[in-house]
Structure 1
Amino acid sequence: MTAVSEDKALFDKGLPIRREVLGADYVDESLAKADDFMMGFQRATTAWAWGWAWGDPTLDRKTRSIINLAMLTALSKPHELKLHVTGALTNGVSVEEIKAILLHATAYCGIPAGLEAFKAAHEVLVKEGALPGGK
């Protein structure tokens, strides 16, 4: 199998996983908006992150979501964390578990990273109806 056909196989494996976790509308819009330059990234992330990593059956999707929330907190990536909070809810991670994950990550990553993560997660949880809006 050539590298190109291997990447195509991983892309084909990863695309349905990506759609299931992040939502088909989000994924399809990302692919549709990608020009030739950005399509390289779309193909890589779908093949590598979703086909290769998420497609490995060793860890279940809930566990992978938990890991992603902690890593994205550590990296201070609130935009990406918002996307994965939605995915975590899809994968069966409860609001209480999300809070515990973010508190645990805050203890190891620091208050500024934790604050960003909490703000991002709160915004998504309110938007998704998992938390009451307002405060």
Structure 2
Amino acid sequence: MSAEDQALFDKGLPIRRAVLGADYVDSSLAKADEFMMAFQRATTAWAWGWAWGDPTLDRKTRSMLNLAMLTALGKTPEIKLHVKGALNNGLTVDQIKAVLLHATAYCGIPAGLDAFKAAHEVLVAEGALPGKK
């Protein structure tokens, strides 16, 4: 890893831990073999050090963008991860819902439905929504 990539990794790691949760991030790093560690280094440096580390946008805005983009891409596991991150970044349930409705209008009902189901599962698990009685 170059010195520049190492600096971005070092910058990104605390941001990644704050948004996604230290337990999740540390577990991902600990489980990574040499092959998967290349991805862990890249995502931490590029996504978290370079992109999330840019002070131009706040973390709430970045969470909203991520939820919309992940809805468009149909990346349900990542939507779940980033709904938890959105809560960590201070988004309300209503803000998450509004982002997903906006994404649904542009991405289509099937993508929106998948995103809503994924978000609902996380919001219930995190205690942000009551579970079904």
So what's the TM-score if we normalise by structure 2? 0.98
1:52 pairs with 50, 61, 65, which one?
Answer: 50
1:101 maps to which residue?
A: 99
2:117 paired with 1:115: no
Read off the aligned partner of 2:71 and give its amino acid letter.
Answer: T
Question: In structure 2, the residue corresponding to 1:31 is in which secondary structure?
Answer: helix
Q: Find the counterpart in structure 2 of residue 43 from structure 1.
A: 41
User: Could you tell me the percent identity over the aligned residues?
Assistant: 82
How far apart, CA to CA, are the structure 2 residues paired with 1:95 and 1:74? 20
Name the SS for the 1:55 alignment partner. coil
Shift in Å, 1:134? 1.4
Using the alignment, how far apart are the partners of 2:77 and 2:18 within structure 1? 19
User: Which residue of 2 is the match for residue 21 of structure 1?
Assistant: 19
Counterpart secondary structure, 1:56 = coil
List gaps (5 residues or longer) in structure 2.
none
For the residue of structure 2 that corresponds to 1:64, the secondary structure is helix
How many angstroms apart in 2 are the aligned matches of 1:134 and 1:30?
31
Q: Please list the CA deviations of residues 49-80 of structure 1 after superposition, one character each: whole Å capped at 9, or x if unmatched.
A: 00000000000000000000000000000100
Q: Deviations over 1:11-48 (max 9, x none)?
A: 00000000000000000000000000000000000000
Q: 1:88 aligns with which of 83, 86, 89?
A: 86
Structure 1 stretches of at least 4 aligned residues deviating more than 2 Å after TM superposition? none
What RMSD, in angstroms, separates the aligned Cα atoms of the two structures?
0.9
Partner residue, 1:132? 130
Q: Residue type of the partner of 2:59? A: R
Count of equivalent residues: 133
- Normalised TM-score (structure 1): 0.97
Q: Unaligned stretches of 5+ in structure 1?
A: none
Q: What letter matches 1:18 in structure 2?
A: R
